[in-house]
Amino acid sequence: MKQQLARWLLRAMGWRLEGARPAEKRYVLIAAPHTSNWDFPLMLLFAAAYDIRVTWMAKHSLFRPPMGRVMRALGGMPIVRHRSGNVVSAMVEAFAALPQLVLVVPTEGTRARAEHWKSGFYHIAREAAVPIVPSFLDFGRRRGGFGPAMQPTGDLRADMQYFRDFYAGMKGLFPEKFGPVKLREEEDSR
């Protein structure tokens, strides 16, 4: 019922689903481009339309009462971004403990333009030995869905090229806020 309702709502809003539901039971799901507050409800609708239970990380301030319980019920996991802690290790442990986990990571880490993606998604997937699945909301063509899973190889530039190619031409609601698809580590390793 939830899946059918989500599909109906997306069609009614002029969106179409593209790509198959990922076959894997455990993976890191990239959420890009992330340029507006509309990305979150649309991400939840697309997950429901594909019948995927997602867990997503977001800044801890979104989990304050009264909305905290709702955010957790929707799959939210609070992250304190300004405090040093090892989010990567915690997520790797979560993958080790759970037979099914779809961890959504907004790679840009913000709705504002970022010149580099946050690299946590990549390190989580490598250390947990799970694939990365790119998802998208392309406001330019009113489509959303998933691309093929990619197992990170450790060749950072080659792996990131996969994502640059995948996201080429996709537009967020505010296209000027979608920065380049690259990690700071790519520049640091030159």
Higher pLDDT, 74 or 166: 166
Higher pLDDT, 189 or 155: 155
Domain boundaries, the chain: 2-188
Mean pLDDT of 30-45: 90
Mean pLDDT of 123-136: 96
How many CA atoms lie less than 13 Å away from 172 in the CB half-sphere?
25
Residue type, 27: Y
Query: Residue 5's closest CA among 55, 53, 51?
Result: 51
Report the mean per-residue pLDDT for the chain: 90
3-state secondary structure the chain: CHHHHHHHHHHHCCCEEECCCCCCCEEEEEEECCCCCCHHHHHHHHHHHCCCCCEEEEEHHHHCCCCHHHHHHCCEEEECCCCCCCHHHHHHHHHHHCCCEEEEECCCCCCCCCCCECCHHHHHHHHHCCCEEEEEEECCCCEEEECCCECCCCCHHHHHHHHHHHHCCCCCCCHHHCCCCCEHHHHHCC
Give yes or no for a contact between 121 and 107, defined as CB atoms under 8 angstroms apart. yes
Judged against a pLDDT cut of 80, whether residue 116 lies above it is answered with: yes
Give 89's pLDDT tier (boundaries 50, 70, 90).
Answer: confident
Which pLDDT value is given to residue 185?
A: 87
pTM of the model: 0.88
Give 82's pLDDT tier (boundaries 50, 70, 90).
Answer: low
In sign, the C-alpha dihedral spanning 125, 189, 164, 40 is positive
pLDDT digits (tens, 9 = 90+) for 93-110: 889 999 999 999 888 777
Mean pLDDT of 13-38: 93
Which pLDDT value is given to residue 84?
A: 53
**With pLDDT > 70 as the criterion, what percentage of the chain qualifies?**
96
Judged against a pLDDT cut of 90, whether residue 56 lies above it is answered with: no
* CA–CA gap between residue 173 and residue 142 (Å, rounded): 10
Query: Residue 124's closest CA among 23, 3, 12, 29?
Result: 29
Judged against a pLDDT cut of 70, whether residue 38 lies above it is answered with: yes
The strand pair at 26-32 and 132-138 is best described as parallel
Higher pLDDT, 62 or 124: 124
